[in-house]
Amino acid sequence: MSRLLLVEDDSALAAGLAAALACDGSQVDVADSGQEALRLARSAAYDACILDLGLPDRDGVAVLREMRQSAIGFPVLILTARDAIGDRIGGLDAGADDYLMKPFDLGELEARLRALLRRRDADGTPWRRFGPLRFDAEGCAAFAGEEPLELTRREAGVLECLMRRPGRIVTREAILAAAFPSDSEVAPNALEVQVSRLRRKLEAVGVTVRALRGLGYRLEESGRDVLE
């Protein structure tokens, strides 16, 4: 499931578009101003952003520039009624990945988003994402929004293993192998200790590790109902 940031001040359009994208399997957060867009972009891990340029408090291109200056690297698709070639060039130069004119066809928008997500995955990015969490597999570092999480090496191993299958059950054996890769003998409760410590740190940022007896563990966003 992709998590998208929709930045659009037209409430009717935003509601309709968010509903359509949700039906397509995406989780959509909506911002109706540049300030709110920047706040959300810095506090959660998004897979892509749909950005309108005509925002009430500031120009969308300025918002995009600030995102890129803050090292927020998710793909951005500009969605706007501005049809001047200079506007398109300005948006792309500011860091946009694609540009779609209003009025638009929903099918085309969805196809362009899929293309952006495929392109992102093909880049071989080391980042794994779940809710507000980002995990840098190369650097073995975790972040909640832009804030680093202080994790031990074993806690990071548990988290990376869970984030390979976000929202899905991961077996105890798989997590043990990730957290204790070179240990032939591990204390019976060693994994439970690591999971408990990791859970305490994650719950502070709205994520939990749920134990499912006889099955394994699952990463969940706190407060979200998940079907068994």
| Number of Cβ within a 10 Å radius of residue 99 | 19
Q: Is the peptide bond before 103 cis (omega within 30 degrees of 0)?
A: yes
Residue 225 has pLDDT above 60, yes or no: no
102 and 168, same domain (yes or no) = no
137 and 69, same domain (yes or no) = no
CATH number of the domain at 132, please. 1.10.10.10
Burial bucket for residue 60 (CB in 10 Å: 0-12, 13-18, 19+): buried
What is the reported pLDDT for 7?
97
Cα 143 to its chain centre, rounded Å, is: 11
**Considering the domain boundaries, does residue 107 fall inside one?**
yes
Residues in the chain, how many? 228
Q: Which two tokens stand for residue 94?
A: 């500011």
113 and 137, same domain (yes or no) = no
**Considering the domain boundaries, does residue 226 fall inside one?**
no
What is the reported pLDDT for 84?
81
10 and 112, same domain (yes or no) = yes
Which residue shows structure tokens 């997590």?
A: 175
**Considering the domain boundaries, does residue 228 fall inside one?**
no
156 and 107, same domain (yes or no) = no
**Considering the domain boundaries, does residue 79 fall inside one?**
yes
Overall average pLDDT of the 114-119 stretch: 83
112 and 8, same domain (yes or no) = yes
What is the reported pLDDT for 127?
64
What is the reported pLDDT for 228?
44
**Considering the domain boundaries, does residue 52 fall inside one?**
yes
8 and 118, same domain (yes or no) = yes
**Considering the domain boundaries, does residue 93 fall inside one?**
yes
Instruction: Indicate whether this model's pTM tops 0.85.
Output: no
What is the reported pLDDT for 161?
85
22 and 113, same domain (yes or no) = yes
140 and 213, same domain (yes or no) = yes
User: How many CA within 13 A on the CB side of residue 90?
Assistant: 13
Q: How confident is the model at residue 226 (pLDDT cuts 50, 70, 90)?
A: very low
The mean pLDDT of the chain is 85
**Considering the domain boundaries, does residue 84 fall inside one?**
yes
Number of folded domains that form the chain:
2
Amino acid identity of 108? Answer: E
| Structural domain span for residue 13 | 3-122
136 and 106, same domain (yes or no) = no
| 156-201 pLDDT tens trace | 889 988 887 777 888 888 888 888 876 657 788 899 999 999 999 9
Q: Which two tokens stand for residue 78?
A: 């500009």
**Considering the domain boundaries, does residue 172 fall inside one?**
yes
105 and 179, same domain (yes or no) = no
